[in-house]
Amino acid sequence: MTALKGAVGSGLARVDVREKVEGRAHYTADLYRPGMLFGAILGSPHAHARIKSYDVGEAMTVPGVQCVVTGDDFGDHRMGAFIKDEHAIAKGKVRYVGEPVAAVAAETEAAARLAARLVKVEYQELPAILTPEDALKPGAAIIHEELDSYFKVFDTGSRGNICSRTDFTQGDASAWSKAEVVIEGNYTTQPQAHVSLEPCGALAEIDAAGRITLWSANQSVFRVQANVCESLGIPMAQLRCVTPRVGAGFGNKMEAHIQPIAVKLAMESGRPVKLILTREEDFEIVRARHPFKIRIKTGAKRDGTLVAREVEVLLDGGAFADDSPGVLGNGLWFSCGPYRFDYMRAWGTLVYTNKLRFGAFRGFGNPQVTFASEQQVDEIAALIGMDPVTLRERNLLRGDDRWFGGTEVGSNALGACLEQVKTRSGWSRRAELKPSTPERKRAMGIGVTAHVSGLLATGAIVRMLEDGSIVLNTGAVDIGQGSDTVLCQICAEALKVPVDRIRLASPDTDGSPYNWGTTASRVTYTTGRAVVAAAGEVERQAKEHAAEILECAPSDLELRPGGQFGIVGVPEKTVTFAQISARAHWAKGGPIVGTNSYVFDRPTFDPKRAIAIGLPFPQIGALAFGALVVDVEIDEVTGKVEVKRAWSAVDAGRAINPLSVEGQIEGAFVQGMGLALSEQMVWDGARLANPSLMDYKVPTALDAPYDIEPIIVESHEPDGPFGAKGVGEIGINAVPAAIANAVAAATGIRFNALPLAPERVLRAMLAK
């Protein structure tokens, strides 16, 4: 086949890159609508309190104020991804410091913020629950008193302050008797803030017919639609959600933030309202990565065969459930690692506390459990005197091995990933590494991981316009990871046209097929599959037309590059898309539209192989794999840990756009490095102490190593689009573990808590 421009496998420049480098890309805050007002929120000063009354009188006197809303203006409707426990704005009760309790729309942002501060709210304080342990104590104040009445998507086991519990078991516990070495340890990880460069925001406008259009920083126009309509008690058909450019997500924009409030302000004022959070508000009220407490026990034989593992976790979920039950389930599901065990049990509890809700964040529990599980693998290797890579190679899932719970593994090139990082890093010669100065220690560390690509519902519509050009509509939001381009490449490849013949329709709940969202590394695989199928539909319909035009049978025809069909073996007999489409529009059949819609339906758990209690995702799969080696130095003067080089190999099935795949690997690495070394949300009592970029530090260009080598390994996922799987999260999961393994190799000290901040490392080195 002639190489068409932008074919699958080409590191094509992204379809949206010109507008971004020219500064013309419009994010939510860049949008202006005639008559637009600005919105601002007032946050609760208390972590846990009943709301007794509001006084908006003084707020209303601020010049420019058009309306003020409080919980009293909202009905008793709740939203939530797994447990519908959340109002659009605090109603009756506040559950964390900063929780929105009132909102104002005014002619200027300054007026809105001033007025918001002037809203008076009378509270009756309740005891604040700040840790999961406190939440579980008998007699503890109950954060969600109506928990029993909330709608729940699965059997969550909610009671008291327990939000959900999950328990997965596979195999027979008698397998422990075969273990000749057993390691048990406790690990903790810290809350991490997403710090997407674009703070969350929304712009809502009501049209003359009373229908609402909502632009917002989002990862799913459909989740925004559902959340806004559920929490406002309005029919979903009344709300049209669209998306401007999004300045990164990583999970914090997947579920609602202030969209319901912005919509309400627009409804009350009758004018468009734009509400953009400050960076401080973004830290305080959106969501963050769950801190995990992990107890893990791994048993092996002396020959290195892994035999049994048990993982127990306790999650602080914050004030609302949000995606947390999913994080609990996903974390447990991945806590086995990509290994064979005769017995595996993973269970845990998610608990409400009076802090901001923890929610989806790249990895979705996997980085946290992997910090524990991949260290244990190294600990076992050390105990039995085996090289950590060799031990892993011995136990990797291969061939027909299934994942924990029984789901099939399609393609698996983890062995090749491991081989690549081992070779390229010079792993076997790592003992020869010299620190860059005498006061440093230096070592390498390794970690392997897997992550999901397929879940929930998606669709694609491929339309051939009158002139033969193609419009693709999938409803998938590009949050910067490059899905717009990848989906166009897939469509172009399927229809054998250059990629610039495909135009993408922006996600729009009015016209796009349902797409659960840009999360869980799912768009390339899940939506890409729908695109291939829809394009196939277009090909089938077009072929019928072509056959009639060329007076042959459809089976005589082939799709040729450049947007045409021809008779096999007869080069000069062709008919173009334009000709076909004209016929379809004006003569016969109707405009050609290919559609596909499906929900990923491979079961996560096979009840014949494993038991699952409290399963948040009953149908999830299509696993990608990764291996990571890091080269780390520790400054013995200060305890500061620095990553000098990294090799990250990812089996993403097929790299539709290799440049974008590399970008995901590199970006995920640095974000994981922040989780491992420098980022930490700190609470001062009930209040977040560092909700600003002055005080919460993410890696800069000088902190991130330049020498990050992304390695693409292709394996071909059988039902993936052109063999592709997901790649968004696989690059972050093993980072904290690999760094901790390197630090352990360099210092002889195991660090069971994140982050590996200088103080922790120095004290441990001095204590040794």
Contact call for residues 421 and 452 (beta carbons, < 8 A)? no
* Window of 328-336, 337-345, 576-584, 659-667 that interacts with another protein by CB under 8 A: 659-667
Mapped onto helix, strand or coil, the DSSP state of residue 752 is coil
Note whether 264 and 239 are within 8 A (CB).
Answer: no
Binding another protein (rule: CB under 8 A), the pick from 121, 195, 448, 557 is 195
Closest CB 697 distance from another protein, rounded Å? 4
List the interface residues with another protein, window 108-127 (CB under 8 A). 110, 113
Which one of the spans 74-82, 364-372, 607-615, 657-665 is the region binding another protein (CB under 8 A)? Answer: 657-665
Site for another protein in 739-768 (CB under 8 A): 757-759, 762-763, 766
Q: Which amino acid is at 620?
A: I
Could you give the 3-state DSSP secondary structure of residue 348?
Answer: strand
Say whether residue 435 binds another protein (CB under 8 A).
Answer: no
Nearer to another protein, 25 or 153 (CB): 25
The CB-of-698 to another protein minimum distance in angstroms stands at 6
| Residue ranges in 508-537 that form contacts with another protein under rule CB under 8 A | none
> For the sheet containing 610-613, what is the strand order?
181-188, 292-300, 306-318, 343-352, 162-171, 610-613
In degrees and rounded to multiples of 5, residue 216 shows phi and psi of -160, 160
Q: Where does this chain touch another protein (CB under 8 A) — which range of 1-9, 96-104, 195-203, 466-474?
A: 195-203
221 is an interface residue for another protein by CB under 8 A: no
* Interactions with another protein, residue window 83-112 (CB under 8 A): 110
Binding mask 615-644 for another protein (x = CB under 8 A): ----------------------xxxx----
- Of 459, 489, 483, which is closest to residue 473 (Cα–Cα)? 459
Residue 49, class by beta-carbon neighbours within 10 Å (0-12 exposed, 13-18 middle, 19+ buried)? buried
**Interface with another protein, residue 13, by CB under 8 A:** yes
What mask of x and - would describe binding to another protein in positions 145 to 164, judged by CB under 8 A?
--------------------
Output 311 or 738, the one with its CB closest to another protein.
Answer: 738
| Residue closer to another protein, measured from CB, 210 or 438 | 438
Q: What is the 3-state secondary structure (H, E, C) of 509-551?
A: CCCCCCCCCCCCCCHHHHHHHHHHHHHHHHHHHHHHHHHHHHC
Q: Per the structure block, which two tokens stand in for 762? A: 């120095």
Whether 712 contacts 647, CB under 8 Å? no
Residue 28 DSSP class? G
User: Residue from 132, 482, 720, 726 that binds another protein (CB under 8 A)?
Assistant: 482
Residues 692-711 that bind another protein (CB under 8 A): 692-704, 706, 708
Q: Which stretch binds another protein (CB under 8 A): 203-211, 448-456, 480-488, 717-725?
A: 480-488
Which one, 83 or 276, has the nearer CB to another protein?
276
The secondary element (H helix, E strand) that includes residue 746 is helix 735-747
- Retrieve residue 419's tokens: 């081989």
- Stretch of 191-199, 303-311, 598-606, 744-752 lying at the interface with another protein (CB under 8 A): 191-199
Q: What gap in Å lies between CA 666 and CA 673, rounded to an integer?
A: 11
Residue number with CB closer to another protein (275 or 315): 275
Please report how close the Cβ of residue 585 comes to another protein at its closest, in angstroms.
36
Shortest distance in whole angstroms from residue 113 CB to another protein? 8
The b/e string for 53-91 (b: 16+ C-beta within 10 A; e otherwise) is: ebebeebeebebbbbbbbbebbeebbbbbbbbbbbbbbb
User: Which positions ≥6 away from 543 have C-beta within 8 Å?
Assistant: 554, 557, 559, 565
| Of residues 660-689, those binding another protein (CB under 8 A) | 660, 662-663, 666-671, 678, 682, 689
- Binding flag, residue 14, another protein (CB under 8 A): yes
d(CA 78, CA 72): 14
CA distances from residue 632 to 410, 508, 628, 692 in whole angstroms, order as listed: 34, 46, 13, 28
- Phi, psi torsion values for 752, nearest 5 degrees: -100, 5
Selected binder of another protein within 43, 132, 247, 475 (CB under 8 A): 247
Compare residues 563 and 667 and give the one whose CB is closer to another protein: 667
State which residue, 32 or 151, has the beta carbon closest to another protein. Answer: 32
Which is nearer to another protein, 149 or 437 (by Cβ)? 437
Report in angstroms how near the CB of residue 637 gets to another protein at its nearest.
5
Q: Give me 83's structure tokens.
A: 């447990």
Q: What is the CA radius of gyration of the chain?
A: 27
Helix (H, G, I), strand (E, B) or coil at 558: strand
Q: Total residues contacting another protein (rule CB under 8 A)?
A: 79
Upper half-sphere CA count for residue 444 (Cβ side, 13 Å): 25
| Minimum separation from the CB atom of position 105 to another protein (A) | 16
Q: Which 249-268 residues touch another protein, going by CB under 8 A?
A: 250
Least Å distance between CB 380 and another protein?
31
By C-beta, is 322 or 662 nearer to another protein? Answer: 662
Restricting to residues 272-291, which ones interact with another protein according to CB under 8 A? 276, 278-280
Q: Is 297 exposed, middle or buried (0-12, 13-18, 19+ CB in 10 A)?
A: middle
CB neighbour burial string for 134-153, b if at least 16 within 10 angstroms, e if fewer? bbeeeeeebbbeebeebebe
Among 85, 86, 198, 539, binds another protein (CB under 8 A): 198
3-state secondary structure of 398: coil
**18-47 positions binding another protein, by CB under 8 A:** 18-27, 29-30, 32
Interacting stretch for another protein, rule CB under 8 A, among 79-87, 463-471, 479-487, 741-749?
A: 479-487
461 binds another protein (CB under 8 A): no
- Minimum CB separation from another protein for residue 669, in Å? 6
- 342 scored as a contact of another protein (CB under 8 A): no
